[in-house]
Every structure is written in C-alpha cells, then in structure tokens.
C-alpha cells in the first residue's frame, strides 16, 4: 500500500493554533505568563483574544508571503495561547477527564524525574514552575520579525490583560541568533518530522511540501530527504496517529476528551546554557583526547562528536569537516541514516536531481552513539524500544528559540534556550526523549551508549561520561564532562487548545 495525498486527513487549519503544526519561525518571540485573578473577566478577555490567535492557515500563508518578500522585514505579529491545568481550573473548566499525568503537575513536582537538580525534593535552579503558584495559568506566545512591533503589541496585550484580571507572572524574549545557531554555536532547527495532512482537499494541498520524485518507492514516506512524514495525531488531537511497525498505516487518534480536539500538548523548558563552561570543556578535553589518541583533535572536532553535526549543520556522519555544499542544501543537510542510505531523486525547480546516499555507521565511528542528535533520534537503528521506524513515534515538533545575548557580546548575561515542543503525549514523546534516552547513559541503541554530553542530565550535576572508539588509533577512550553546561530553570506542561475552544470559554 502507498499513501496517496487524498488518503491524508484534511486539517482544521483555521482552528488549530499556528505554532504547533506550522511554526511561527519569527526572529523574536515573547513568552508571557499570567495568573488569573478574576475568572469571569479573564474568561471574557480570553474569548475575545480568540480573534487575535494566529491559526495554522494564517501562519502558513504568512510564511509563504514572507519568503516572497525577503529581505523586507514583516511587522506582522503572531499570537498563540496555552493553558496549564491550573489555569483551566481557575476558569472553572472541568479538567477531571485529563489523563496525561504530566499535565496535572507543576514541572517542579517532576523535577527529580526529569533529571533536574533538586534539594529536599525542591528544584534548586527554577525561576518558574516550582509549584502551582509560579506556574503560568496562561502562557502567550507572541512572535514577530520586527522587534519594535512586537514590543508594542506585547505591551498592549499585557495591559489589556491586566485590566481583565490576568496578572503578568513571567516573561522572556527569545531572539534568533545569526546563522540560526543556538548559544553553543551550532546551527539548530534543521531536523524535524513533516506532519501529514491537507490544507485543502481540492486539489489536495499538503501542509508539508513533497519533494521526492514520485518514481521513488519511498516518495510517500518523506517530505524532503531525511524528513519522515508523520500522521498528524502525533502532534494534534483528533487525527490519525503513527503505527509502531508500519510507517504508512494510520492508527486511531489518541484517546482524549472532545474539547482537546484540534489542540496540542506543549512542553516549555527554560534551559540555561553556560557557554564559558562548554568552551572550557571543549578546549581541555580536546587536549587530553589528543594525548590519548596520539594526534591532534581540536575543539571543533570534539564539538561535532558531542552534537553529531559540525557548527554549520553538516552531519558528522556525512563529512569529516564542515562542508558548505551539504550544510547549505536543505535536500542534503538532513539526508542520512545510521544504517546507511541509498541515493534519492528529488524534483526541484521542475528538474529531477539526485541526492547522494552514504555508507552505514552502525558502530558510531563517524557519529558516536552519545552524540546529541543520535541520542534523541537514532533514526533507522533498533533501540531499546524496538525497530527503526518505531523511533518516529517519540518525535515532537520542536519550536524552541534562544534567549539572551551572544556570549562574546556580554559574557556575564544569562542565556539559553526557550525549549518548546508540541505533541499529543508527554509520556510517550517528551519523556521518552528526555528521560529514557537523553538522560540515560544505557540507551537507546547499545546499552552503553554514554551520556548525551551536550544536554543529558544525571540529577546531581556530577561528571558524565561517554565511550568513544577511535578507529584511526584503534583505541577506546572515555570522554568526561565534569559539569553540566545546560541547566533547566523551570517551565510548564501546557495544553494549547483549538481556537474554537477559546471562543467557547
């Protein structure tokens, strides 16, 4: 069986908030948290806010228009809203049907299980989400490419919310860094699953563009090379979900109350990054590694092992050095699998073009098993959860954005990543990646893969190690990170409802 476009569900694109399925992708993003002081007034304000919420349809059209207009900066401001369970409770909404255990708790109650530092059962580094009292009832996501337009719009929303009994309790501004890097200097936002589903039925118009030559046997499985098509119920309630064994076969939607339809679960983690410490690790450890291996390994080479990509995004499995012909080509930059992959044809500008394949690296000689991108997405490899396509069940739609200034501009400032990811099950998506794989040195592939040295945590901030086999010197060494470079400083588990839910509040 192949999946034809007509077999995919029509998405309620005018009802689904736009940052989940499509992604704002704006240069700036304000996150503003509110506590509800006056339920009746807040409910009316939130009902009215529904008219300002940017739907998937609107964000999709905005992004097409924006890419045609570049480099002119668009001053359009996009708005989305999410609720904690406590916010819904404050609005007297009946949340008794919620089954997801994560949604019922402030992040702080789960801090230990998430790998965050705790003392006497309390997270030590949180600036929000320790308890119900400092978890936002409502979190607004307000994005624009124009920072002045964004500042004005956010200020206006905050003041009208205040008049309606919504007290601002938290705010951060995310800002995209030059060349789309995160603060450690690596290009981010490259690899993402492509949600299946149509924006219109006649003619069938897919949300995720299809680039593969229809003559390829996997044309119905990929958006771009390396981008698996995933049934949308993995990200939005009310749609078919992905099968554990057959990547084509849709499964029943996730069980959820009717009011969750066209909504998503959103995990927000405020991740502080210590760039000075990360650079010191790269410099110290590359020196000791060079001694052990008897040849020079520099900090950039060690960084590529830790992330699984060179700073410009070139996958370590594809090249022993950064390669602009790979990193600047969106058809090549994500086309790899650890078991090797054949060449594939794409149709670009009406011409068929061949994207090269590459040999396997099951042993992790070019991209180690502990590399961040391999720990969180082992792609085609069997894992402790099952066979290859199974790994796609755990993927989320990542919409994170850095916050704070570049280290070289203001070393003493706080900086990091506002990690945002959409899904329909915290337990079988975020938790699997974060806790069962990223923080677990014994998973996902081998049983002794080592820590994700970039982001993985062990709860107490103690040293973390990972085994490296160097094929040139034919030696095994341990790479040890003496401290954590990424420290979670709180966040929340949220529900991002449909626009009609807001209207009916």
Query: Which tokens hold the place of 103?
Result: 């949604």
Q: State in angstroms the smallest separation of the CB of 440 from ligand HEM.
A: 12
Stretch of 119-127, 254-262, 339-347, 368-376 contacting ligand HEM, by CB under 6 A = 368-376
- CB of 153 or CB of 264, closer to ligand HEM: 264
Distance CA 53, CA 257 (A): 22
In the complex, the smallest distance separating the C-beta of residue 497 from ligand HEM, rounded to whole angstroms, is: 23
C-alpha 173/C-alpha 150 separation (Å) is: 10
Q: Lay out the site mask for ligand HEM across 252-271 (x = CB under 6 A, - = otherwise).
A: -------------------x
Query: Which of these segments, 209-217, 316-324, 344-352, 373-381, binds ligand HEM (CB under 6 A)?
Result: 373-381
Task: Give the one residue of 32, 307, 344, 371 binding ligand HEM; rule: CB under 6 A.
Answer: 307
* 372 contacts ligand HEM (rule: CB under 6 A): yes
Contact 273, 184 (CB under 8 A): yes
Among 5, 98, 190, 362, binds ligand HEM (CB under 6 A): 190
Q: Which stretch binds ligand HEM (CB under 6 A): 24-32, 282-290, 342-350, 369-377?
A: 369-377
Considering the complex, state which of residue 162 and residue 190 has its C-beta at the smaller distance from ligand HEM: 190
- What ranges make up the beta strands (E) of 284-329? none
- DSSP-assigned states of every residue in 405-427: --TTT-TTS--EEEEEEEES-II
Give least dist CB 27 to ligand HEM, A.
18
- Under the binding rule (CB under 6 A), the answer on residue 440 touching ligand HEM is no
Tokens 């989305």 map to which residue? 80
What is the rounded CA–CA span in Å between residue 484 and residue 267?
21
As measured in angstroms, the least distance from the Cβ of 459 to ligand HEM is 15
CA distance 501 to 494: 15
Question: Under rule CB under 6 A, how many of the chain's residues touch ligand HEM?
Answer: 22
Return the number of the residue (134 or 188) whose C-beta is nearest ligand HEM. 188
Nearest distance, CB of residue 433 and ligand HEM, angstroms:
4
CB closer to ligand HEM out of 188 and 261: 188
Asked whether 347 and 213 are in contact (CB, 8 A), the reply is: yes
Query: What residues does 267 pair with on adjacent strands?
Result: 421, 493
Q: Smallest distance, Å, CB 271 to ligand HEM?
A: 4
459: contact with ligand HEM by CB under 6 A: no
321: Cα separation from own chain's centroid: 26
Answer yes or no whether residue 142 interacts with ligand HEM by CB under 6 A. Answer: no
- Residue 309 is a binding residue for ligand HEM (CB under 6 A): yes
Identify which of residues 231 and 426 has a Cβ nearer to ligand HEM in the complex.
426
Query: Rounded CA gap, 258 and 276, in Å?
Result: 48
* Contacting residue, 189, 204, 388, 461, with ligand HEM by CB under 6 A: 189
Contact residues for 267 (Cβ-Cβ < 8 A; gap 6+):
102, 396, 419, 420, 421, 423, 426, 430, 491, 492, 493, 494
**Residue 182 lies near ligand HEM (rule: CB under 6 A):** yes
SS3 344: strand
388 φ, ψ to 5°?
A: -40, -65
Q: Which residues contact 120 (CB under 8 A, 6 or more apart)?
A: none
Interaction between residue 393 and ligand HEM (CB under 6 A)? no
Q: Which residues contact 328 (CB under 8 A, 6 or more apart)?
A: none
Among 268, 419, 422, 493, binds ligand HEM (CB under 6 A): 419
Residues in contact with 76: Cβ distance below 8 Å, sequence separation at least 6, in sequence order: 62, 66, 144, 145, 146, 149
Q: Which stretch binds ligand HEM (CB under 6 A): 5-13, 288-296, 384-392, 433-441?
A: 433-441
User: Which part of the chain contacts ligand HEM (CB under 6 A), choosing from 43-51, 121-129, 157-165, 370-378?
Assistant: 370-378
Residue 374 parent element (H or E):
helix 372-376
Among 260, 417, 453, 494, binds ligand HEM (CB under 6 A): 417
Under rule CB under 6 A, residue 483 binds ligand HEM: no
Please provide the DSSP assignment of 224-270 as one string: STT-BEE-GGGTSTTS-B--SS-TT--BPPPP--GGGTT-EEEEEEE
Considering only residues 269 to 298 of the shown chain, the ones binding ligand HEM according to CB under 6 A are: 271, 273
Which 102-121 residues touch ligand HEM, going by CB under 6 A? Answer: none
CA distance 264 to 498: 8
- State the residues that interact with ligand HEM by CB under 6 A: 182, 184, 186, 188-191, 271, 273, 307, 309, 372-373, 376-377, 417, 419, 433-434, 438, 455, 486
């Amino acid at each position: 069986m192949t999946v034809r476009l007509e077999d995919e569900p029509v998405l309620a694109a005018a009802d689904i908030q736009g940052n989940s399925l499509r992604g704002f992708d704006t240069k700036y993003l304000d996150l503003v948290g509110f506590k509800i002081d006056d339920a009746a007034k807040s409910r009316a304000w939130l009902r009215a806010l529904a008219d300002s919420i940017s739907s998937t349809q609107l964000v999709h059209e905005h992004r097409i228009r924006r890419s045609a207009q570049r480099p002119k900066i668009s001053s359009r401001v996009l708005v989305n809203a999410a609720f904690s369970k406590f916010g819904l409770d404050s609005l007297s909404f009946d949340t008794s049907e919620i089954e997801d255990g994560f949604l019922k708790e402030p992040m702080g109650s789960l801090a230990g299980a998430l790998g965050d530092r705790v003392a006497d059962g309390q997270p030590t580094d949180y600036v929000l989400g320790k308890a119900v009292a400092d978890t936002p009832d409502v979190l607004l996501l307000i994005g624009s490419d124009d920072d002045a337009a964004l500042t004005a719009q956010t200020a206006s929303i905050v003041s009208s919310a205040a008049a309606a009994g919504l007290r601002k309790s938290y705010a951060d501004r995310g800002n995209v860094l030059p060349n789309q890097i995160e603060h450690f200097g690596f290009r981010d936002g490259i690899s993402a699953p492509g949600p299946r589903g149509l924006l219109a039925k006649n003619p069938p118009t897919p949300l995720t563009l299809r680039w593969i030559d229809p003559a390829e046997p996997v044309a119905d499985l990929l958006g771009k090379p390396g981008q698996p098509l995933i049934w949308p119920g993995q990200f939005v309630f009310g749609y078919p979900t992905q099968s554990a064994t057959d990547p084509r076969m849709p499964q029943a939607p996730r069980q959820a109350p009717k009011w969750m339809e066209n909504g998503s679960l959103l995990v927000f983690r405020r991740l502080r990054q210590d760039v000075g410490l990360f650079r010191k690790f790269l410099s110290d450890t590359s020196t000791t590694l060079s001694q052990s291996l008897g040849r020079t390994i520099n900090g950039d080479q060690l960084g590529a092992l830790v992330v699984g990509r060179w700073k410009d995004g070139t996958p370590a499995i594809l090249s022993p050095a950064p390669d602009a012909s790979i990193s600047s080509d969106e058809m090549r930059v994500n086309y790899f699998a650890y078991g090797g992959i054949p060449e594939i044809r794409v149709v670009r500008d009406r011409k068929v073009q061949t994207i090269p394949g590459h040999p396997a690296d099951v042993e992790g000689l070019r991209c180690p098993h502990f590399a961040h991108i391999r720990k969180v997405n082992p792609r085609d490899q069997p894992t402790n959860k099952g066979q290859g396509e199974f790994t796609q069940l755990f993927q989320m739609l990542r919409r994170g954005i850095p916050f704070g200034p570049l280290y070289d501009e203001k070393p003493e400032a706080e900086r990091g990543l506002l990690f945002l990811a959409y899904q329909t099950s915290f337990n079988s998506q975020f938790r699997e990646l974060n806790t069962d794989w990223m923080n677990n040195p014994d998973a996902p592939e081998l049983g002794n893969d080592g820590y994700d040295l970039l982001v993985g945590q062990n709860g107490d901030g103690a040293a973390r190690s990972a085994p490296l086999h160097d094929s040139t010197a034919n030696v095994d060494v341990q790479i040890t990170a003496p401290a954590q470079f990424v420290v979670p400083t709180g966040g929340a588990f949220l529900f991002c409802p449909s626009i009609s839910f807001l209207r009916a509040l």
